[in-house]
């Protein structure tokens, strides 16, 4: 199996959060086609657990889908920023806690068919109050949910974004294996 060969690339839009480019490629069989690519920086998503075994979620309005979503805290990695440091910063900005312990839950490409973003997932625990002020976090509501209720919230569709579902199910699977 061979990869596609890049023939040319053209930036279509340079935005604040994403860029859009069109790549002209040649497939292994010789056919030429185009690929529309959304460029986005890598991000982190964090399953935060408090001392009472609650998962700390955020409820916020998501304009692209036109509704409030219940999600795990997440955000973009700044240029030169370590993903773990980003996870700490995002928790302080979004939920007002600094984790004393962070464990790696793995990661994944969020939209590999047309996007470049890679999402690093972490488990944060031993949380200490520590608020960092950020410009886009005023309208975020902190929601504490007992860990045992998470599968039901996913099954009912109340938690319906891919990053939250993937990270929470990974966390639940690893916890089950740890205590089996």
Burial class (CB in 10 A: 0-12, 13-18, 19+), 180: exposed
For the 43-178 domain, the top CATH level (class) is: alpha beta
Is the model's pLDDT at 179 over the cut of 60?
no
Please check whether residue 107 is in contact with residue 29, taking contact to mean a CB–CB distance below 8 angstroms. no
Stated pTM of the model = 0.91
Cα 117 to Cα 108: distance, rounded to the nearest angstrom: 9
Q: What is the pLDDT of residues 122-151, one digit of tens each?
A: 999 999 998 877 666 678 999 999 999 999
Is the model's pLDDT at 156 over the cut of 70?
yes
Q: What is the pLDDT of residues 45-95, one digit of tens each?
A: 999 999 999 999 999 999 999 999 999 999 999 999 999 999 999 999 999
Least confident interval from 9-18, 122-131, 169-178? 169-178
Please check whether residue 115 is in contact with residue 37, taking contact to mean a CB–CB distance below 8 angstroms. yes
Please give the pLDDT value at position 139: 86
Q: 109 to each of 5, 112, 120, 169, 174, how far by Cα in Å?
A: 21, 6, 9, 16, 20
Cα 131 to Cα 36: distance, rounded to the nearest angstrom: 39
Cα 160 to Cα 57: distance, rounded to the nearest angstrom: 13
Q: Work out the end-to-end distance of the chain between its first and last CA atoms, rounded to an integer number of angstroms.
A: 40
């Amino acid at each position: 199996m061979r990869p596609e060969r890049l023939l040319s690339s053209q930036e279509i839009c340079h935005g604040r959060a994403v860029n859009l480019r069109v790549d002209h490629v040649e497939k292994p069989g010789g056919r030429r086609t185009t690929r529309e690519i959304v460029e986005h920086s890598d991000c982190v998503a964090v399953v935060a657990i408090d001392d009472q075994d609650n998962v700390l979620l955020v409820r916020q309005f998501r304009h692209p889908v036109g509704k409030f979503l219940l999600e795990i805290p997440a955000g973009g990695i700044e240029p030169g920023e370590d993903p773990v440091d980003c996870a700490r910063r995002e928790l302080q900005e979004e939920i007002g806690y600094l984790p004393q312990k962070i464990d790696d839950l793995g990661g994944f490409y969020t939209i590999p068919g047309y996007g470049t973003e890679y999402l690093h997932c972490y488990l944060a625990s031993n949380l200490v109050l520590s608020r960092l002020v950020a410009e886009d976090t005023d309208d975020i509501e902190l929601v504490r949910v007992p860990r045992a209720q998470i599968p039901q919230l996913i099954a009912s569709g109340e938690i319906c974004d891919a990053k939250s579902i993937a990270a929470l199910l990974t966390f639940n699977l690893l916890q089950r294996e740890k205590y089996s």
